[in-house]
Structure 1
C-alpha cells in the first residue's frame, strides 16, 4: 500500500514530479530550462521567461531565485553528509578519502544541485493547477 502512495507522488500533478523533471510548477507541461542537459554548463541556469502553455512567469519578482541559494546550501550539506557516511562509515575508508569523496560528489553533482534548488524554490510558491486553461 505504501509503494502505491510513493508512485502517486511521482505522477504529474505532484510537487515532486515538477521538482524532479524541472517542469513548470503550474501546468507541468514544459521544461523551465532552455537546455534539458544540466551538464551543458554554459546553459545550466538559462530558463524560459514564461511557460508557453500557461504563461507563468518563472522569475516571479526581480532576483527571485536568490532565495534558491539557501535551498542549494541545504542540498549541498545533505549531499556532503551522505557522501561522508557512504565513504567513511559504510566503505570504511580513511578520513582523507572521505573528504575527497565529499569534494568529488559536490563537484560532479553541482549542476543537478543548482537546478534542483531552483526547482524546489519555485515549487514552494507555485502550485499545480489541473483546471487552468490558457
Structure 2
C-alpha cells in the first residue's frame, strides 16, 4: 500500500529516478493506494545520465500511476503475486504518460479503462 511520504521508484524514461507520494487520489479521506491507483507525487531524484535532457526537474509535482507494490495482490482464481519494490510511472495533466517507454512489465489488471496507452508502451505483462 502506498500512502503519504512513501518513496517510489520510477520505471520509465522520463528522467526521474525517485519520487515521493504527496497525496492519494480517489476519494475523501483515502489513506492508501494500491495497484492501478493515481497519486500526486514530487520528484526527489533524477537519473545521473539524463539530467540535462530530462523531461522533468527536481521538485516538480506530477500525477503518477502505481504499477507495482510490495503488498500481495489477489486474483479471482485464488492465486496472488507480489513485487520486490514500489514502482510508478509519471503522468501529465491530460492523463497521458510523460515517457515513451516503460522498462518493467506491468499487471494485467491495468488492461481495462483509460490505461491502454500504458499497455502499449510497456515491456510485457504479469
Q: Is the TM value for this pair above 0.5?
A: no
Q: Which has the higher contact order (CA 8 A, sep 6+)?
A: 1
Instruction: Flag the structure with larger Rg.
Output: 1
TM-score, length basis structure 1: 0.27
Query: More helix by proportion, 1 or 2?
Result: 1
TM-score, length basis structure 2: 0.28
Query: More strand by proportion, 1 or 2?
Result: 2
